[in-house]
Amino acid sequence: MTLALFDLDNTLLSGDSDELWIDYLSQRSAVDSKRYRKNYERLKQEYANGQLDIKEYLSFALTPLRRATHKTLIQWRREFLRSHIIPVISKQARSLIASHKTRGHKCVIVTITNQFVSESIAAELGVDALFASVPEMQADKFTGQIQGLPCYGEGMILRIEKWMRETNECFKDSYFYTDSHNDLKLLCKVDNPVAVNPDPILLQVACENSWPVISIGKNTAQQSLAVA
């Protein structure tokens, strides 16, 4: 079956789900807004420069999950989806996924954003599968650590290839939509790479290789942190 792979943040979403999650938690006084914003902006710039320390980023992103019960987190996530995520899902994003499904393609989201935050978004978008960074749980509580390989860079590709071996899928005729130059390795794996709201580096590479460049939603320039 033909695969249609999608980055999540600033690709299918007109915004960054991790950043929006921080905003939501700040509104509930569940995190120190000023401190988290400062750290996020630093990590965001490191990502834009292609210098992100993935372990540091995931430690930053997963720490808030340790501070509440799973029941509370589920309630917060439900509210977060309604108040912060659904408003940034554009008609273009939903139509793009629908067009691939109409052609019988398997739609898959690949994102660095942790699975707890991203799985409800994937369900809202109606995709067939999700690759995300998996937060570790012990005794029904998040530990703040990551389980297995982060869904980023080489780890993302290794996880996808393992899944392909297990499900008899392949990259033949596949698509990948993303906004970030940090996803170039995966873009070069598929037969149909597509730059969506691309950052400057990805835009240059796309033009040099005659890849399609498209715009989805309102955010056409902001650099995303949480990518595939």
Residue 25 forms part of a structural domain: yes
pLDDT of residue 224: 36
Residue 48 forms part of a structural domain: yes
Residue 223 forms part of a structural domain: no
Residue numbers of the domain that contains 119: 3-214
Residue 83 forms part of a structural domain: yes
pLDDT of residue 218: 57
Residue 144 forms part of a structural domain: yes
pLDDT of residue 226: 35
Q: Which residues contact 150 (CB under 8 A, 6 or more apart)?
A: 54, 55, 58, 112, 133, 156
pLDDT of residue 225: 38
pLDDT of residue 217: 85
Annotated active-site residue 7? The verdict is: yes
Residue 225 forms part of a structural domain: no
**Active-site residue (options: 7, 16, 23, 199):** 7
In tens digits, the chain (228 residues) has pLDDT values of 999 999 999 999 999 999 999 999 999 988 888 888 888 889 888 988 888 888 899 888 888 898 899 999 999 999 999 999 999 999 999 999 999 999 999 999 999 999 999 999 999 999 999 999 999 999 888 998 999 999 998 999 999 999 999 999 999 999 999 999 999 999 999 999 999 999 999 999 999 999 999 999 854 333 333 333
> Is the CB of residue 144 less than 8 Å from the CB of residue 166?
no
> Is the CB of residue 152 less than 8 Å from the CB of residue 228?
yes
Residue 219 forms part of a structural domain: no
Q: What is the pTM of this model?
A: 0.90
**3-class secondary structure, 76:** helix
Residue 227 forms part of a structural domain: no
Distance separating alpha carbons of residues 123 and 200, to the nearest angstrom: 31
**Active-site residue (options: 9, 179, 183, 199):** 9
Q: How many domains does the chain have?
A: 1
Q: Which residue has the tokens 């580096």?
A: 201
CA 112-116-121 angle, 5° bins = 80
Read off the CATH number of the domain in which 17 is found: 3.40.50.1000
